[in-house]
Amino acid sequence: MSFGEYYFTKMDIVITSRNTPEYLLIESKGVIKTGPDMQEHCKLLFDEVLKYNNKKVLIDEPGTRFPQNMFIYYDLVNYYVDNFPPEIRFLKIAVVIAEEFKEIGYFWETVCVNKGLQYFAFTSFQDAHDWLVK
């Protein structure tokens, strides 16, 4: 099992990753303030997915602070579809967020599903894990 790598970005984010027998586990902690920061954060996460080539991904980031503007998340999902390869549609991704970002997470999830992506938001690591491995 690989223990992953650490990345520090101008967004004040730390990302770690490791492959487990069931899925790729990515952990993210820090502060994201803008839409472009969200896009950069997603590029870093996608780089980890490419590195490990696992189709199931659990992104654990309850310690990450996100922008509050809902429009950012609509644009973000369109950014995925327009800028990442079509294979992103084959990924099954569970994202764990803090309870205070639950409404934003569910909005993001709805936009993802409407675009044909299997990306879902959770406030519980166990719920995310259970959904991912079923």
Residue with tokens 């294979």: 87
The answer on pLDDT for 1 being more than 80 is no
Element (H, E) at 120: strand 118-122
Q: Evaluate if residue 6 carries a pLDDT over 50.
A: no
* Domains with residue ranges and CATH for the chain: 7-133 (3.30.750.24)
Model pLDDT, residue 2:
41
Is a pLDDT exceeding 50 seen at residue 28?
yes
Where does the pLDDT of residue 24 fall: very low under 50, low under 70, confident under 90, or very high at 90 and above? very high
Percent above pLDDT 70 for the chain: 92
Distance CA(49)–CA(28), nearest Å, equals 14
Q: How many residues does the chain have?
A: 134
Average pLDDT over residues 57-74: 96
Mark residue 30 as left, alpha or beta (left: phi above 0; alpha: psi -120 to 50; beta: remaining). Answer: left
Please tell me the pTM assigned to this model: 0.90
Least confident of 9-23, 27-41, 52-66, 86-100: 9-23
